[in-house]
Structures are given as C-alpha cells and as structure tokens.
Amino acid sequence: MKFTEEHRFDFPLEVVQKAYFDPAFAPRKYAELGLADIQVMDSSSDANESSVVVRFKMLPTVKLPGFAQKFVPQDKPVGVQQTDHWDKTTNRGTLDVELAGMSSMTTLHCNMELVADGEQTVNKMNWTVEAKVPLVGSKLAKVLAEDIQQKSEADRQATATILADYAS
C-alpha cells in the first residue's frame, strides 16, 4: 500500500534542516510523543549525511481487527526500531520502521523531502507499507498504514513544538 503525507511547519527550511539533520532530534520527538523505552542504537552526522537508529515501544492507535492482533497486540506496547537517514546536500531522506517480531514479513518505508515554501517548510513523505503474509497481507498492510496516518498529526505537532528550540 502506498500513500503520501505532508507535514507543514511555520519555520524556514534552515530551521527544519537543523532539527531533522540532528541525530538528537528523533529521540527527543519520541519522548515528546510519550513513547516508552527510547534507546538510541546508532547515530552519525557529517557534512553530507546524518542518520539515527532509535528503538522504542508504542501502542497501536487504530482498533485492530482480530486477524491483525495475531501479529500486533492491541493492548501491549509494540517494539519498534526506526532508522532515519538524511542526505544534507539534497534535503532528501528515508525512514524505515521495523516492528518487533514482524520485520521479516513487513516493509514500512518512507521517502522524504524537505521543501521550502516561502517562510514555511514542508516535509513531503511517500510511504510504502507491505505485509508479506499469506491471505491477509494486504489487509494487514492497510491496518499498519492506517496506524501511521492516525499518528501523523501528533508527530507533526511534536515536531513543531521542538522546532521552536532550533529557531532560537
């Protein structure tokens, strides 16, 4: 399943770049979102690239149908590993999400691009969500995509809150 999202911020591109290219930004955002057991597994940053690998636990946002609860429990936090990678020269990045116990059967990948729009900045996101599970793969992918979409506005708001610190 493929879908697009945009996060618009009332900050110039330079401020958003400063935050998104900072390996400390992602774990701070996850803390702002109230996620549990946040651990930075790896991070790096140089003149051309930055990346961070973070593990955390979170609850699903959407009501999961019975078949999906076999893969993702409704009432228990799910272990997540997220890898953010940015090319500072192009303002393009990728985000890869691995769900504990499901990484071999799911793909959650996002191509991102930061684009200036006057005094605002837009993070344009193109998601691909796949589940390689016989019979129910497309249904599971749809549920996972819905969960991402449900969390999107909270993610945007947490980012906007943190961006204010990068602007000063």
Give 51-89 pLDDT, tens digit per residue: 999 999 987 665 655 655 566 666 778 889 999 999 999
Q: Give the model's pLDDT for residue 84.
A: 97
This prediction's pTM: 0.88
CA dist 29 and 49 (Å) reads: 20
Mean of the per-residue pLDDT values of the chain: 90
Strand order in the sheet with 2-9: 2-9, 120-131, 106-117, 92-99, 78-87, 49-58, 36-45
Taking CA atoms, 97 is separated from 23, 79, 82, 85, in Å, by 16, 10, 5, 12
Which has more pLDDT, 162 or 70? 162
Residue 136, CB-side half-sphere exposure with 13 Å CA sphere:
11
User: How many domains is the chain partitioned into structurally?
Assistant: 1
| Domain, as residue range, for 150 | 2-167
The CATH number given to whatever domain includes residue 17 is: 3.30.530.20
- Residue 127: alpha-carbon gap to chain centroid: 10
Q: Give the model's pLDDT for residue 40.
A: 96
CB 8 within 8 A of CB 132: no
- Sequence letter at residue 152: S
In this prediction, residues 127-131 reach a mean pLDDT of 93
